[in-house]
Structure 1
Amino acid sequence: MPRKQSNGNHKREVAIPRPSSSVILVSPTNEVLLLHRVHTSTSFASAHVFPGGNLSDQDGPCPPPEDHTRHDDAPHYRRAAIRELFEESGILLAKNQTTGKMLVVDEKTRDQGRALIHQNKLTFDEWLKQQHSEAEPDTANSSEDKLVPFTRWVTPTNVPKRYTTQMYIYFMPLPVDVDKELLEELPTEGEREEIQVPSSDGGIEVTEAQFLPASEWLRRAQSGEIILFPPQFLLLDVVSGFLDQEPRSDASLEVLKKRRAALLGFIHSGSPPWTDKVIAPKLLKMTEDGRSVLALDDSGPELKGSGRRGEPDRVVVLKFKKEGAREVRVAWKKDIMQEERSNL
């Protein structure tokens, strides 16, 4: 049963967080995919978000709300991340379970599959089996480090619609040293990496899908061109610090690879490591100019006593406006607390 929380002279129910997944997809040139959500969306309306969505029955059973493992990385979260990526952007991350080679499906067939899945005429797995009997979502966190847990976010209790969202980062294969324009034939399974171009889902949930450097997404948010909420802003800020070092445009394959390796090393570091952090943003203070400072170290009431923790060193500073989060930035908690002491 939902818990009740005091709110003035009456009590209100605290919503149970819905299990969901999102994936930070890194392109062969180390850019990041974001989707522009429709203005009628019930969550993050008009914002730019990572591909993702709620778990469904086709992803497999999820532990009940009272079970702490409901908030652990697990196969059902991984399947949902790959499925939602396909439904929302058309990018297919699937492989032959016997050979391990990536599945290649032409764009027209992928778009037809997305429509059938949206209409609940097929499940994602059923459609995959139609393409190849040995096809399966590429969900394994293998030695190649493709799909890697990268924080979990639990919506604060003051929000009516709450989620427990497992974030992943997935690295698409780096480009190969061939002139792709000379290869006109569709490659056979796994022969080479197909250039999959993201697209919207026809305006059902997404109006635009685009790869850009993480630093460019951050710039657009800070200039007011787009809306990024704290989870997207913070993770893009982390990713940008590794993948967007100069030179950016003409970096060699070796440099691209080294930057990925450095980011992966960081994700697996820390106490707790970024693979295990659970973040339930909590208001730390209000600044004199009306900005909210959100602490990121709490893991939320559902995980109380579990030992799970968030990010102790950083905070997110922003203004909440009618259209969403604005003037977002990431800061060190020690600097914010020092500013407070200086203003006393």
Structure 2
Amino acid sequence: MIVYRALRRVAVLAAAVTVAIAGAMAGGASAARADGSGPQPERQLLFYNHAYSVLDRETADAVEHSEYLRTFANFEVRTTTGGGMTWTGRYLKGRETYLELFGTGDLPGQDGEFGSAGMGVSTERAGDLATVTERLKALGVAEPFPYRQTRDFGDGVKVPWFDTVRASGAQYDAFDPWAMEYLPEYFADPRSKTEPESFPGDVGRERYLPDDYRDHLMRDVTAVRFGVPARDLANALPLLRAGGFAVQSLPGGGVVAAGGGTRIRLDSVPREQAGLKQVRFALNRPVAYRHEERIGRSTLVVGPGAHAVWSFDAPVR
């Protein structure tokens, strides 16, 4: 779900100056609260939904053509139109969570550079995104930045898809974090192929994703690790804290955010070291063996047990 970032460049040129001035004035208080020193919200409202990253071309092509990944996960190469743009991603979809991968140059401009990445954390109940927005303000975010994403199923008719909010409307350096809430109009459209609600106001991840994960090993993403530039990390922290994640600072920079079944680690790094480093998965069933699959410049290790770890190497420069 990368399309928003390209549109934002145009949409916030005027707002960026205002946001920057407000951020500079409130920066000291916001940073102090975002590092975990403030009180944690009582109820978790946001949960890891999906993450994406731009890989080197060799690895992205290997992912796209991997026969093993088609056995390991509910794997799909899909072209999507939304917000007036079209993009093609490589998807590994689980019960509630998924991973979206691109190759260098697949997307225009900065979005297509190696190491560009992002992460969406979503609500499970309708209306919780409004509460997240209020929590962001209480954490010192002067102007939370909202946006509504639409989807076109191919007939030119835009269907409301999900609402988002970010801690800043300014352009990211390498990592774009956002909170999101799926919309009732999307679930109501039969072309979305989503499930009926399990309770009133259900806008959850399990309802959104198909049940084809049951036919594969991968069940869900349980941990992600990214290298993130300092400015992007500062924008991610308020979202994680407002969402109810337990946030812990790491020596040397970076944080670990835990909650809702997924551990999120964001290491503070220079832009040239940014990007996806590792993903951990829970499996539908334990395996008795250890299988190692080399995929481009990455290694997926499955088992033994009911887990797998996918590690990504930096490309040779």
Q: TM-score w.r.t. structure 1 length?
A: 0.23
| Higher radius of gyration, 1 or 2 | 1
